[in-house]
């Protein structure tokens, strides 16, 4: 046990200084050694997920000897044997997953302490210098050992106040992905409303004098987490940081691409389309086509009307898209949502203001606003309407009116947004790529571009004969044809679309093709954080095809 490192960590936390660390999942102890050499405050060796064995774990622990870096081992579950073993090999504490109650937290702390305060057995391992320092070690261990619970289920919320009263609990970590899963948003980092719930729990803990931690998703999110009051902040996982660096470097030479869950490269995917899909993806709702002008309408502010295209009215899940029309000079007052929003200007001239940052939008410019950001919009013209395409990561959207109590700053024409907050996409200079023959696509938002966002989407341009392969998604999709004519095929059913929106539910095999002599443009939005498509055999997109055999 490195009591010097533990003391330094606690002193920083008591001074309200942030402590930064690395989450380690790979075998090589050189990873931890590099992090220690760079002076990180802590490392967590992850023995819950992945394939680290105890030989790997102790090798990582050894790299922190004679340093000021605290080393913690994340065990697989609340288990006295695992806690004892992690501490016996010399770690400074344990990270315990899935702690939901104060009783479980007390149990974890008792496993980490020697009698009479706990039930930890004494071993002749590294912690006691192989039995040579029994008195010295056991005299210091109970008051120094760190037991860090991970709060990662929605059931935990009602127990946080009681956890604050547990003696020996000083640090709490949050797991947004598992919390989202238990809140019904599996696969999201912070699903609808989850970010707010985590911040609520963090505030309760901070008010009780506790310290809170979370892993940041990128450098901007790192700054944002510190601003939010988190003190034990992960710079990332070793794999995440490596992938981020690889993707950034590949992007510089035009070679970046998403990783598929199958680990099959995209070029192989094109030659190996699936013929059978898992039964769990069998669709339970039909597709629907909504011509512009036929959707449900409502006035959301004086001179501002909304027409729903995809949402709860046609059984979409976690997704609403539509058109918002601003009369000349109309203003949508400042407000917030408990979900993310995407705003694309289709016609007219307008501004969008986010927490005082004012953006001037040209046609097809897009701004993406994460959960909880105060924003408003204005039609700059006194004679013409302004029309927006909007997407909301909810099938039952609502808003809360609030004041825009921020000093106003006019953002420059080349602004790309604000770190940790909104993302601004200038259409004229956005990076394009091919998603199929004779197509040009733009990714406007996803969880790589806007960490924590619950949906993904972008722009597609189809030249004549341009098309996508037959494919399916594990989430609902909205596709709005904003110019030209598209042919949409859904399991053999053909739809000709012009100024219309297609709602394609999860599990429906479909594709789009431009059979006309003019270009066609679309805006697509997925109710999933990454734009992942599963390419299937063309037969699956026919009446005869049956991919769920």
Could you tell me if 305 and 324 are in contact, meaning their C-beta atoms sit under 8 angstroms apart? Answer: yes
**Residue 73: beta bridge partners?**
45, 94
Q: Which residues of the chain have a pLDDT value below 50?
A: 269-270
CA distance 373 to 386: 22
Torsion, Cα 330 334 338 344, to 10 degrees, reads 40
Q: Which two tokens stand for residue 208?
A: 């009780």
Looking at the domain covering 3-240, what would its CATH class be?
Answer: alpha beta
CA distance 531 to 455: 9
What residue spans in the chain does CATH classification 3.20.20.60 cover?
3-240
List of residues 6+ apart from 43 with CB closer than 8 A: 21, 22, 23, 24, 32, 35, 36, 60, 64, 69, 70, 71, 72
Could you give phi then psi for residue 541, rounded to 5 degrees?
Answer: -95, 15
Strands 93-96 and 70-74, by their bridges, are: parallel
DSSP 443-455: EEE-TTTSTT-S-
- Please give the pLDDT value at position 193: 83
Could you give phi then psi for residue 455, rounded to 5 degrees?
Answer: -135, 175
Distances (CA, A) of 79 to 75, 121, 135, 383: 8, 13, 26, 69
Which of 70-88 are b and which e, b meaning 16 or more Cβ less than 10 Å from the residue's Cβ? bbbbbbeebebebbbbbbb
CA distance 444 to 429: 12
Distances (CA, A) of 43 to 64, 102, 163: 9, 25, 24
The side-by-side arrangement of strands in the sheet containing 386-392 is 297-301, 304-310, 320-326, 386-392, 341-347, 366-369, 423-425
The owner of tokens 């994340």 is 74
User: H/E/C letters for each residue in 331-383?
Assistant: EEEEEECCCCEEEEEEECCEEEEECCEEEEECCCCEEEECCCCCEEEEECCCC
Left (φ > 0), alpha (ψ -120 to 50) or beta: where does 407 sit? beta
- Please give the pLDDT value at position 540: 83
- DSSP label at residue 270: H
Left (φ > 0), alpha (ψ -120 to 50) or beta: where does 452 sit? left
Sign, Cα dihedral of 117, 123, 127, 130: positive
Q: Which of 286, 388, 387, 392 is nearest to 336 (CA)?
A: 392
- Please give the pLDDT value at position 401: 96
List of residues 6+ apart from 184 with CB closer than 8 A: 191
- Please give the pLDDT value at position 34: 97
- Please give the pLDDT value at position 537: 85
Q: What is the largest CA-CA distance in the chain?
A: 86
Left (φ > 0), alpha (ψ -120 to 50) or beta: where does 60 sit? alpha
CA distance 197 to 195: 6
Question: Please, what is the Cα angle at 389 between 368 and 462, to 5 degrees?
Answer: 100
The owner of tokens 């709860």 is 312
Gap between the terminal Cα atoms of the chain: 57
Left (φ > 0), alpha (ψ -120 to 50) or beta: where does 524 sit? beta
Left (φ > 0), alpha (ψ -120 to 50) or beta: where does 66 sit? left
What residue spans in the chain does CATH classification 2.60.120.10 cover?
289-409+424-541
Which pTM was predicted?
A: 0.62
- DSSP label at residue 251: H
Domain 289-409+424-541 has CATH 2.60.120.10: yes
Q: Which two tokens stand for residue 10?
A: 């606690």
């Amino acid at each position: 046990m490195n009591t010097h490192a533990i003391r330094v960590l606690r002193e920083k936390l008591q001074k309200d200084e942030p402590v930064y660390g690395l989450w380690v999942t790979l075998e090589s102890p050189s990873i931890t050694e590099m992090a220690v050499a760079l002076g990180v405050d802590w490392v967590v060796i992850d023995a819950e997920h992945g394939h680290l064995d105890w030989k790997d774990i102790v090798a990582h622990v050894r790299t922190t000897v004679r340093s000021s870096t605290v080393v913690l081992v994340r065990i697989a579950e609340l288990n006295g044997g695992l806690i004892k073993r992690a501490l016996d090999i010399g770690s400074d504490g344990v990270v315990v997953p899935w702690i939901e109650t104060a009783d479980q937290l007390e149990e974890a702390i008792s496993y980490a302490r020697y009698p009479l305060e706990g039930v930890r057995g004494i071993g002749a391992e590294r912690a006691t210098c192989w039995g040579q320092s029994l008195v010295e070690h056991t005299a210091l261990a109970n008051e120094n050992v760190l037991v860090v619970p991970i709060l990662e289920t929605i059931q935990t919320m009602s127990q946080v106040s009681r956890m604050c009263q547990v003696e020996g609990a000083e640090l709490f970590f949050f797991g947004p992905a598992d919390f989202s899963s238990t809140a019904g948003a599996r696969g999201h980092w912070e699903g609808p409303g989850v970010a707010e719930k985590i911040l609520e729990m963090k505030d309760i803990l901070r008010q009780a004098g506790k310290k809170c931690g979370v892993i940041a998703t990128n450098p901007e999110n790192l700054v944002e987490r510190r601003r939010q009051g988190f003190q034990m902040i992960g710079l990332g996982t070793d794999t995440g940081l490596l992938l981020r660096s690889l993707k950034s470097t590949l992007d510089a030479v035009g070679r970046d691409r998403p990783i598929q869950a199958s680990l099959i490269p995209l070029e192989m995917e094109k030659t190996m389309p699936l013929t059978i899909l898992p039964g769990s993806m069998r669709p339970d709702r039909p597709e629907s086509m909504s011509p512009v002008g036929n959707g449900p309408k409502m006035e959301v502010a004086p001179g501002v009307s909304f027409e729903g295209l995809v949402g709860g009215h046609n059984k979409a899940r976690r997704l609403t898209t539509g058109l918002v029309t601003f009369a000349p000079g109309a203003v949508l007052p400042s407000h917030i949502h408990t979900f993310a929003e995407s705003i694309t200007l289709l016609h007219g001239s307008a501004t969008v203001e986010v927490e005082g940052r004012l953006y001037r939008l040209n046609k097809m410019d897009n701004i993406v606003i994460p959960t909880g950001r105060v924003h408003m919009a204005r039609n700059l013209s006194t004679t013409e309407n302004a029309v927006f395409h909007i997407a909301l990561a909810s099938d039952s959207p609502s808003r809360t009116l609030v004041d825009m109590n921020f000093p106003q700053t006019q953002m420059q024409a080349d602004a790309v947004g604000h770190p940790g907050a909104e993302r601004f996409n200038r259409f004229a200079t956005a990076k394009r790529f091919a998603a199929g023959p004779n197509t040009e696509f733009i990714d406007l938002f996803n969880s790589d571009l806007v960490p924590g966002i619950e949906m993904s989407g972008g722009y597609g341009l189809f030249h004549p004969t341009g098309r996508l392969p037959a494919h399916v998604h594990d989430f609902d999709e909205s596709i709005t044809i904003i110019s030209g004519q598209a042919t949409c095929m859904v399991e053999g059913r053909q739809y000709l679309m012009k100024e219309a929106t297609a709602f394609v539910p999860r599990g429906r095999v479909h594709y789009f093709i431009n059979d006309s002599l003019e270009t066609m443009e679309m805006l697509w939005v997925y109710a999933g954080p990454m734009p992942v498509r599963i390419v299937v055999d063309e037969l699956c997109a026919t009446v005869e095809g049956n991919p769920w055999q």
